[in-house]
Amino acid sequence: MEQNSTDVQQNSSSAASEGVTPQTQLPDVPVVTSTPATPPVGSQTPQENLYAALAEERRKNKRLEDKLNNMNTTHSFEPEFVSDEGKILKGELDTMAAKIRQLEEEKALEKLFVQYPALKENLDKFNEFRLAEHPKAKIESAAKIFLAENGLLEGRRVGLENPTGGVRTPLKTGMTAEDVSNLRKNNWKKYQEMLSKGLIQIEA
């Protein structure tokens, strides 16, 4: 064993004395090959197919949104661990909240009656209109829409004064005696024509 290690040392020293440098291996560099660029997804699809796919995706999204809305409205996320007293208190709170909403709505209606008297006269029609077409809109907005659609929004404007421009005297339609004499002297043909038609009336 000792002989082997001395041989290796002698071999390395003899290689160094001869001027030969030991070769070092370079690390392998990966060769990069260029691959043709792939076209973007959908670029080779005809336009009609893209529109059809987009329409189908929109239909699916609409169905899922409707389904989600139905789930939110049908399922109440109330905890099941509520006690009997908690259920009674919740019922009382719900009735109180409904009463408060009703009082606020009545107060808003009274303000609207003052502002738009025609609304009070057509209250039944307004309530039907509001429940049928604008159930989630604010009561003020629904009232303005109702009045505008029925032509009740613009009433008589109160507070405007009548125009005053002084006394207006009617314009004279006849000719004065001086005008007639000037016409007779300067334009005899026109004077005769007007006289024959009865257009010359001398005003005093």
Q: How far apart are CA 182 and CA 185, in angstroms?
A: 5
Residues in the chain: 204
pLDDT at 146: 87
- pLDDT tens, per residue, the chain with 204 residues: 445 545 545 554 454 445 555 556 656 656 656 666 666 665 666 766 777 888 888 899 999 988 888 877 665 555 565 788 888 888 899 999 999 999 998 898 899 888 888 888 888 888 888 888 888 888 888 888 888 888 877 655 566 667 676 666 655 556 778 888 888 899 889 888 888 887 777 665
How many alpha carbons fall within 13 Å on the CB side of residue 126?
Answer: 22
Which uninterrupted H or E stretch holds 186? helix 177-186
pLDDT at 95: 93
Please, which contacts does 123-130 make with residues 24 or more away whose CB atoms are closer than 8 Å? 125/150
CA distances (Å), origin 44, targets 39, 49, 57: 8, 10, 19
Buried/exposed 13-36: b ≥16 CB within 10 Å, e otherwise: eeeeeeeeeeeeeeeeeeeeeeee
pLDDT at 1: 47
What residues are paired with 202 via a beta bridge? 175
CA–chain centroid gap for 77, Å, is 32
Question: Quick one: angle between helices 139-149 and 84-115, nearest 10?
Answer: 40
Count of CB atoms within 10 A of residue 113's CB? Answer: 15
pLDDT at 86: 82
Q: How far apart are CA 158 and CA 75, in angstroms?
A: 54
pLDDT at 43: 65
Q: How far apart are CA 108 and CA 123, in angstroms?
A: 13
Residue entry with tokens 């029925």: 150
pLDDT at 33: 62
Tell me the pTM: 0.35
